[in-house]
Structure 1
Amino acid sequence: MAWDPGASAASKGKFYTILRFLRIEQTFFSLPMAYLGAFVAYRGVPPIPILILIFSALFFLRIAGMTNDNLADREIDSKNPRTKSRPLVTGKISVKEAKLMITIGLLGFFISAYLVNFWAFVLSPLVAIIVMTYPYMKRFTALANYQLASIQGLAVFSGAIASAGIIFHSLDKVIADIPWFFVIATIFWALGFDLYNHIPDSAFDRQMGLHSFAVVMGDFALKFAGLNQVVSVALDLVADFSYNLGPISYASTIVHGLIMAIAFYKASKGNFGSAFYYNIYSSIVLGLGIDLDVLLGIPRF
């Protein structure tokens, strides 16, 4: 059977089932990007309480978003051989439990945003709406892939808001302080690895009337994923230059791109599961590299 990151073995306990249900390890796609946004916007290390609250906000939003995604797709997943062992399909997690998890996740997210700063709280409903409407968009348009990718871009955006909101009181200055090149680069990067999730399901999605670029582009979908990630690396290099970052930033961007190239190769051989998770490594390399560059303050080339 094809790889499924949300599957849970029947023999495992409830705690393990919840972790697989939430795909909690995928937090590491977004957390390094959120800290990247925070460090670049702050031009240093943000206060530790802010960094903790950024993690808290992402953690709770993942609970709400992933649970909502699974709940919205429960009937579809039950018909897909790849996803029919997911906990909401098998009943290991009930619909009532899922709704409770969504409520807890959203409350935790909004409370975390409130504790970060005023502008983080004001903008938090926009972030939540984008996250929570994603699973319904694929019923209508392949642009749902870019909506999912924009959620990763919002990690950079949100981290920057958390830091900039400490420094500036006006919204226009907070928005201006966001490292937009990194936000946009992250969207292109995420679109690429999101397609690794959709390409194996393209025939099933077409049968069910679901939309994705894997369905629209057919055999060209994998090349389209790679093209998006090439654009992503190019924009990351533009960002390194534009935000006066140093050699560690450039080096981490190059390694980030090389890991994506390995992931693309694996996907081209049909190993979509491994390709998907290689992007966690690329995210960690880029995020930590740029954070370290900002921390050390090494002059640019």
Structure 2
Amino acid sequence: MSKVRVFLEMIKFEHTLFALPFAYLGAFLASNGFPTLEKFIWITLAMVGARTAAMSLNRLIDRYIDARNARTSERAIPSGKLNKKEVYLYTVLSFLLLGVSAYQLNWLSFKLMPIAVFFLVLYSYTKRFTWMCHLVMGISLGLAPAGAWIGVTGHWALPPILLGLGVMFWSAGFDIVYACQDVDFDRKEGLFSIPAVFGITRGLEVSIGFHVIAPLLFITMGIVAGLHWLYFTGVAIAIILLFRQHQIVSASDLSQVGVAFFNMNGYLSVLLFICGVLDIVLLK
């Protein structure tokens, strides 16, 4: 059990809150109400498998970088709490869970799964050669609602694409904020991020820009999907949370990055999911 606790801490399992509510929202949109219990379970397992595999692989790939960074040196692998073989095993099992879940959903989900795996793996390498790493991370999370929609319906549609793009810009924006903590280390190690390449001030400006685009995409999705005032109330709350996030983080004061990164973005995804589902169930 101690190993399990260490592993869950290593992959920040609680951060599943960022993508899982949007996957569920995609499933509810696709079903125009409640998805079947079977679909709901397999979507959940697919999401758990995808995120666990991605985070485990990220910790493996970055283990030497993490060991040299004072902020991350106590993570499970650099500190010796978990060894490489254990984490490789968790990674393989997680990808297998993703594959089985996608197969159980439908054939299109299974056929498209390699695209998701590609971005999940690519993200861990991108900061070594491009400052666009934040957008690759955003794509990885943005695939969640589209994947859930396909898992329910077996075909593409515009609403989950718009929702996925909104998630992409939203998550890329908060990833930029998070990267501000490691600017000095990244520059020393030759790693790429928008704050490291362009400076913290410019990085936060780009993050604000992304967080303007994201709600516009959420609004557009709601219009295309025929949603009502409950969903748009959720978007309004999301805008307030994004605004507040950028109020408490500045180039001269990064002390609230943790609050902005996890608390506010966690609230945003859950509240938008709740408002969206209530709108679909009660008003459509």
Q: 1:65 aligns with which of 25, 43, 54?
A: 54
Residues 178, 119 of structure 1: alpha-carbon distance in 2 compared, 3 angstrom cutoff: farther
- Alignment of 1:258 with 2:247, yes or no, is no
The offset of 1:177, in angstroms, is 5.3
Structure 1 residues 76-115: Cα deviation after superposition (integer angstroms, max 9, x where no partner): 0111111000001011010010110111100011001111
Which whole-Å CA distance do the structure 2 matches of 1:230 and 1:207 have between them?
31
The offset of 1:231, in angstroms, is 1.1
Correspondence for 2:111: 122
TM-score (norm 2): 0.95
Does the residue aligned with 2:19 lie in a helix, a strand or coil?
Answer: helix
- Alignment of 1:291 with 2:280, yes or no, is no
Coordinate RMSD, CA, aligned: 1.4
- Alignment of 1:78 with 2:63, yes or no, is no
Does the residue aligned with 2:43 lie in a helix, a strand or coil?
Answer: helix
Structure 1 residues 231-277: Cα deviation after superposition (integer angstroms, max 9, x where no partner): 11112112111211011010001101111222222222421011001
- Alignment of 1:217 with 2:198, yes or no, is yes
Residues 110, 178 of structure 1: alpha-carbon distance in 2 compared, 3 angstrom cutoff: farther
Residues 1-301 of structure 1 aligned to structure 2 (within 5 Å): 13-165=2-154, 174-176=155-157, 178-218=159-199, 219-268=201-250, 269-270=253-254, 271-277=256-262, 278-298=264-284
CA contact (8 A) 1:185 1:233 kept: yes
Correspondence for 1:6: none
Give ranges in structure 1 of 5+ residues lacking alignment.
Answer: 1-11, 166-173
Does the residue aligned with 2:55 lie in a helix, a strand or coil?
Answer: helix
Structure 1 residues 196-237: Cα deviation after superposition (integer angstroms, max 9, x where no partner): 221110111111111111112202111211111111111211
CA contact (8 A) 2:177 2:203 kept: no
CA contact (8 A) 1:45 1:295 kept: yes
Which whole-Å CA distance do the structure 2 matches of 1:147 and 1:281 have between them?
23
Give ranges in structure 2 of 5+ residues lacking alignment.
Answer: none
The offset of 1:178, in angstroms, is 4.8
Structure 1 residues 260-297: Cα deviation after superposition (integer angstroms, max 9, x where no partner): 22222222242101100110110111112112111113
Which whole-Å CA distance do the structure 2 matches of 1:155 and 1:124 have between them?
11
The offset of 1:38, in angstroms, is 1.4
